[in-house]
Copies of this chain bind each other. A is one copy, B any other.
Amino acid sequence: MEIKGFQFSAVEAAIKKPGRLDLALIFSETPAAVAAVYTTNKVKAAPVLIDQERTQSGVCQAIVVNSGNANACTGPRGMDDALETTRLVAEGLGIPDETVLVSSTGVIGVPLPMERLRAGIRPLVDGLSGGTLEDVSRAIMTTDTFPKLETRCGMAGGKEYTIAGIAKGAGMIMPNMATMLAFIVTDAAVEPEWLRTAFAVGIERSFNAITVDGDTSTNDSAILLANGAAGNTPLNGAADGAADFVRLLDEVLLSLAKLIVRDGEGATKFVEVTVRGARSDADAKRAAMAVANSCLVKTAFFGQDANWGRIFAAVGYSGADVEQERAELFFDDVPMVKNGVFAGGDAEARGSEVLRKKDFSVVIDLHLGGGTATVYTSDLSYDYVKINADYRT
């Protein structure tokens, strides 16, 4: 798969255990319009601080990313290390330093092994001729069990373009950029201002609508580069093909977000939680997120227990407006609760059957208004505990 005007590379720099790609590069042959969303965590890793400043210009040309070390809580040294990394990449590529972004993911609080990282930059730049985006998607994995890559093709002004994205999860997944990296590249030409809006809206419905454990991280970044190599007239809200571009971008983002949930640490279930009939969309999202984040709800999912009471309790403490005697709850299309009480009949048996599936949905109708939201979550299993209890050892 080719995305015009982009080159990719990934190498083993021995930041992770030997034998695994851990340093990668995305390079646009020409300066590209950039849109980005970063963690809302007040403790931000050095690379996030650098990228936040650099993306303000609206133009970037390269992203260098390592896994195995988050370069977070590393103080002034961490900042120096991140800046040196971008400088070495800029020199290798012959582009201005300020157009190089940097991302890191992995253990917090340990300085980057700069000697090994430095040694990796030259082969990384040299490898651009032969690498693929799929290589990059592998290089950014931490506890991910599979690489995450999505592509869509579209037409704008008679020109064919591609949108391709990669992402990594898998723990610390929560709205507002949890430990999550996502890089999306497109050869479509897009007006920078409009690109930022389209990206922000898409993120809200995708990466900000998933949760694995309610923890947000210090490093999350979602970055989109659009280099215009497809040759179309730059897209904006009024342009032919704009709606299509937004739809395809949303598809890429949502597909990647869902893959992250599927690959949630220890996940055995993929659950879509929809709240409708809320007083507002914000209320709906609050309620849906409370359900999706509840340890008690998620362990019940793991136990395949149709314990709708815990779901109700989570809605109740979410802060959303609730009148319990109006609320309805469904597992897939099985009504479990009507007017706030158990639906009776064979609901228990049928509900339990739904919970035995690997993928199912929980729908809560509050019957109070028109607010609605859908979020995606996993269950909480023994393996979540195992993975996170042993992470650094």
Binding site for B on A (CB under 8 A): 40-44, 70, 72-75, 77-78, 107-110, 171-172, 174, 176, 213-218, 293-296, 299-300, 302-303, 305, 307-310, 312-317, 320-322, 324-325, 337, 339-342, 380-382, 384-386, 388-393
Contacts and interface: CB of A to CB of B under 8 A. Distances in A.
A390 B304 CA distance: 9
A340 B72 CA distance: 10
A214 B382 CA distance: 18
A325 B78 CA distance: 12
Contact of A341 (B73, B218, B312): B73
Contacts of A382: 382, 385-386
Overall SS of chain A's interface: loop
B294 A215 contact: yes
Contacts of A305: 389-393
18 contacts: A42-B316, A42-B320, A43-B316, A73-B308, A73-B342, A108-B307, A109-B309, A109-B337, A171-B296, A214-B214, A215-B314, A216-B317, A218-B312, A295-B384, A299-B384, A303-B388, A305-B390, A385-B385
Contact of A40 (B40, B213, B295, B317): B317
B108 A299 contact: no
B388 A309 contact: no
Given A43-B324, A389-B302, A213 B316 contact: no
Contact of A385 (B108, B339, B381): B381
Contacts of A337: 73, 109
Contact of A108 (B216, B309, B380): B309
Contacts of A390: 303, 305
B391 A307 contact: yes
Contacts of A324: 42-44, 73
B341 A75 contact: yes
Given A303-B393, A325-B75, A391-B300, A312 B216 contact: no
A77 B344 CA distance: 14
Contact of A74 (B296, B307, B341, B393): B341
A310 B218 CA distance: 9
